[in-house]
């Protein structure tokens, strides 16, 4: 999402003190001099994303929102760590330049990465992509192939052996996210999770859980809104927004694609849409391509789609709860609540397939 609200050499951006940032960059032996072309890309209740130039080089800074959540700084540290670990791999990702785990410099942990020369298909599509259904088909296939590339990375070999708890990973999922949903009751003004079928989905997940999996790196929020494509073709140039990354079952990312995939007409009750949509593979073709490219067992793929719908719906409901408590925009909270309801409807549809 792009929300440019400040630009220029002397832009003032909440949470990013350019003087302090410059001192830190100098200590890291990064290009120095004046800050130019400073541009706020996202902010507010989202993570703060700022693009700028300094010393003839271009940077993108990412830090938590000014009003942080409990785990905001640790999340930022984890994002930087996984991006650093993926350097040199076949996984398309923003290249990490430097990371600062210290919260004192800017009031939160942050990192610098190289800008990505690409576009997000859920925002708009260049004429090349909008005008050629075969290009759009390859875009869908590229989404699958990037996920497969991530699943092939040996997480221990790249230093991520302790990046997540593999033992009991699938067994923890339902209880972990149900506890988060219940925690929203602590917010004054939140009427409670008015989500039809939430208990039915939880019971189904517990009853149909796969017994084994092959561990690997998970992006954790993998869908069309969190990838960028090249302007000159269908190539996927970067997977972005690694907030939920961990070590676990990479089929979670396939389930996430299924949960977030637009309908045949391009509409989507899960909140992600692309126009034009014709040409993109069907969800059945997405699953078939993934299955052909992995040694992992995908026979329980509906389970992963239901889990993704359950988990993401609960995450979005958190913003709705904060909005009810006056800690987030009410209109935005209502929108995310509507998407949560759509995700749970999707969960029930996938449940009905088994």
**pLDDT per position as a tens digit, 269-291:** 888 899 999 999 999 999 999 99
Name the segment(s) of the chain with CATH classification 3.90.1200.10.
127-353
Asked if the bond preceding 276 is cis, omega within 30° of 0, the reply is: yes
Cα separation of 344 and 353, whole Å? Answer: 15
pLDDT tier at 136 (50, 70, 90 boundaries)? very high
Q: In what order do the strands lie in the sheet with 57-63?
A: 7-8, 35-42, 48-54, 57-63, 110-113, 96-100
Torsion of CA 273, 279, 283, 284, to 10 degrees: 170
Confidence bin at 7 (pLDDT 50/70/90): very low
Choose among 277, 246, 244, 242: nearest CA to 263.
Answer: 277
- How confident is residue 209, by pLDDT bands cut at 50, 70 and 90? very high
Q: Which helix (H) or strand (E) holds 246?
A: strand 246-248
Q: How far apart are CA 22 and CA 29, in angstroms?
A: 11
CA 192 to chain centre: 26
- In the predicted structure, residue 5 carries a pLDDT above the cut 60: no
Mean pLDDT of 179-196: 95
Asked whether the predicted pLDDT for residue 311 surpasses 90, the reply is yes
Q: Where are the CATH 3.30.200.20 domain residues in the chain?
A: 7-113
Domain 127-353 homologous superfamily, CATH = Aminoglycoside phosphotransferase (APH), C-terminal lobe (3.90.1200.10)
Q: Residue 98: what are its φ and ψ, rounded to 5°?
A: -165, 155
pLDDT band for position 11 (cuts 50, 70, 90)? low
How high is the mean pLDDT of the chain? 94
Biggest CA pair distance of the chain: 60
Is the model's pLDDT at 44 over the cut of 70?
Answer: no
pLDDT of residue 45: 61
Radius of gyration over every alpha carbon of the chain, rounded to an integer in angstroms? 20
pLDDT at 9 over 70: no
DSSP state, 72?
H
Rounded distance, CA 354 to CA 350, Å?
7
What dotted CATH number matches 7-113?
A: 3.30.200.20
Burial 122-143 (b: 16+ CB within 10 A, else e): beebeeebeeeeebbbbbbbbb
- pLDDT at position 66 over 90: no
Phi and psi, residue 238, nearest 5°: -165, 135
């Amino acid at each position: 999402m792009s929300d440019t609200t400040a630009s220029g050499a002397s832009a003032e951006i909440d949470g990013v003190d350019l003087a302090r940032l410059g001192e830190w960059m100098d200590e890291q032996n990064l290009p120095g001099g004046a800050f130019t072309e400073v541009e706020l890309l996202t902010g507010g209740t989202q993570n703060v994303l700022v693009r700028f130039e300094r010393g003839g080089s271009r940077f993108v800074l990412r830090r938590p929102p000014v009003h942080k959540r409990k785990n905001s700084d640790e999340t930022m540290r984890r994002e930087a760590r996984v991006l650093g670990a993926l350097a040199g791999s076949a996984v398309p990702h923003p290249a990490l330049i430097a990371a600062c785990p210290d919260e004192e410099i800017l009031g939160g942990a942050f990192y610098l990465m190289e800008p990505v020369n690409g576009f997000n298909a859920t925002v708009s599509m260049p004429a090349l992509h909008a005008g050629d259904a075969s290009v759009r088909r390859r875009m869908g296939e590229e989404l699958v192939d990037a996920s497969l590339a991530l699943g092939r990375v040996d997480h221990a070999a790249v230093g991520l052996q302790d990046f997540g708890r593999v033992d009991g990973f699938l067994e923890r999922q339902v209880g972990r996210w149900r506890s988060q949903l219940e925690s929203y009751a602590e917010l004054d003004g939140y009427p409670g999770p008015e989500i039809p079928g939430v208990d039915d989905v939880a019971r189904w997940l517990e009853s149909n859980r796969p017994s084994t999996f092959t561990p690997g790196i998970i992006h954790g929020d993998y869908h069309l809104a969190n990838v960028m494509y090249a302007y000159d073709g269908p190539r996927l140039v970067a997977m972005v927004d690694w907030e939920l990354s961990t070590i676990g079952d990479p089929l979670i990312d396939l389930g996430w694609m299924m949960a977030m995939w637009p309908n045949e007409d391009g509409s989507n009750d899960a909140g992600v849409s692309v126009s034009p949509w014709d040409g993109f593979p069907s969800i059945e073709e997405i699953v078939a391509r993934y299955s052909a490219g992995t040694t992992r067992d995908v026979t329980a793929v509906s389970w992963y789609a239901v889990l993704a719908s359950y988990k993401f719906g609960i995450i979005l409901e958190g913003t709705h709860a904060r909005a009810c408590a006056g800690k987030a925009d009410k209109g935005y909270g209502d929108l995310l609540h509507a998407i949560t309801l759509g995700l749970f409807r999707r969960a029930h549809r996938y449940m009905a397939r088994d």
